[in-house]
Amino acid sequence: MGKNFSIAIVSLLLLLASTNAGQVFDVKSYGAKPNGDITQALTQAWKAACAVAGSKVVISTGAYELGSVTLLGPCKGAIEFNLQGTLQSPSDVESFKDKDGWVVFEKIDSLTVSGGGVFDGKGQTAWQKNNCAKESNCNKLPMNIRFNFITNSIVQDITSKDSKFFHINLLECRNLQFQHVTITAPADSPNTDGIHIGRSSQINITNANIGTGDDCISIGDGNHDITINQVTCGPGHGISVGSLGKYENEQPVSGIRVIGSTFINTDNGVRIKTWPASPVGTASDMHFENITMKNVANPILIDQNYCPNKQCSNESPSKVKISNVSFKDIRGTSSTQEAVKFTCSKSVPCQQVVVADIDLTYKEGGSTTSTCVNVQPTASGKQNPPACT
């Protein structure tokens, strides 16, 4: 009898634990209604869910207006943000009052963002006010989603649409997975980087579909152990390490993998870019492999004279040291004849650059070419264009 009683108690405790673990906080319970503003309802639902271990915040199907929110941890335990509907940002920039993010997740461990829903940044009117192409000290517009200090988490099956600025921004994140994420904005929308990664480690982006007006994925300073796999990029400016070397005290970059990805009608393919006249820095252990280019302007590019719109003095060379880089099994079509371009720094020439099994044809017919400045790459396998070793 005692044994059965003990088993019953344990079973009840397990049942309570599982019930508690699945506790759902639907924003409708906090007054949210489709086509209405749910800023207050979401804030209250998040606060309540964050105080319970293993909870879920649910925004069901429908369209909802949402002002800027910071969904702050740490929480009691694992927490899920389940967006099934569409969140719509205020279209006017003024409503953000200098805030640089629309939906901000911050200081959370074991976060899941899922549900198949859409973050609609309503960026169309904001893009007209973006003067960053002409002025380096420009007004920063809000990003759709910011992940600040997030650890051991997953983001899957969501869409970011028409962000005013970057779509997704990572700062000081660790062990964060992105799966089946869709990011979309017109090709002429300025500074709408798909995913920008800053000072993070153990980041995995898999099976993403990204088309924007800027880099599909950009990797800033201080990043380590970043894997990008099966990403389709286009339109956009490609997948870039950098730009690096614009600011003082930038942290080293290492352990970057871009694998099995496809670029369609992009301005660049895989790119490493650093500013001239830069402080000292390093970027190493970067590998790009099994990649398809379809009508890409600069399929393979190292640019250590990166200086858009003449925003800098390029009289002195970059001091960012690039080493241990490989480009392997990259094939397809280039929309320009110069398919491979390595412009390295004369102050710190690139070292240990490998090109292997490259087959890039010029879409207009005729042969493609390669250019090498301050670098002597090692070549193997097929080399089309001929490697400039």
The answer as to whether 43 is a domain residue is: no
The answer as to whether 233 is a domain residue is: yes
| Residue-level pLDDT at 19 | 37
The answer as to whether 44 is a domain residue is: no
Which residue numbers are catalytic? 214, 237
| Residue-level pLDDT at 13 | 47
Number of domains making up the chain: 1
Q: Domain holding 311: CATH number?
A: 2.160.20.10
> Alpha-carbon Rg of the chain, whole angstroms?
23
The answer as to whether 358 is a domain residue is: yes
| Residue-level pLDDT at 74 | 98
Segment 162-209, tens digit of pLDDT: 999 999 999 999 999 999 999 999 999 999 999 999 999 999 999 999
Segment 265-318, tens digit of pLDDT: 999 999 999 999 999 999 999 999 999 999 999 999 999 999 887 777 667 999
The answer as to whether 217 is a domain residue is: yes
The answer as to whether 267 is a domain residue is: yes
Parent domain of 366: 57-384
Whether the upstream peptide bond of residue 34 has omega within 30° of 0, thus cis, is no
The answer as to whether 45 is a domain residue is: no
The answer as to whether 134 is a domain residue is: yes
| Residue-level pLDDT at 18 | 41
Q: Spell out the residues 6+ positions from residue 25 whose beta carbon is closer than 8 angstroms to its own.
A: 45, 46, 48, 49, 55, 56, 57, 58
Residues 24/58, Cβ–Cβ less than 8 Å? yes
Given a cut of 70, the residues of the chain with pLDDT beneath it are 1-21, 133-138, 313-314, 389
Q: Quote the pTM value.
A: 0.93
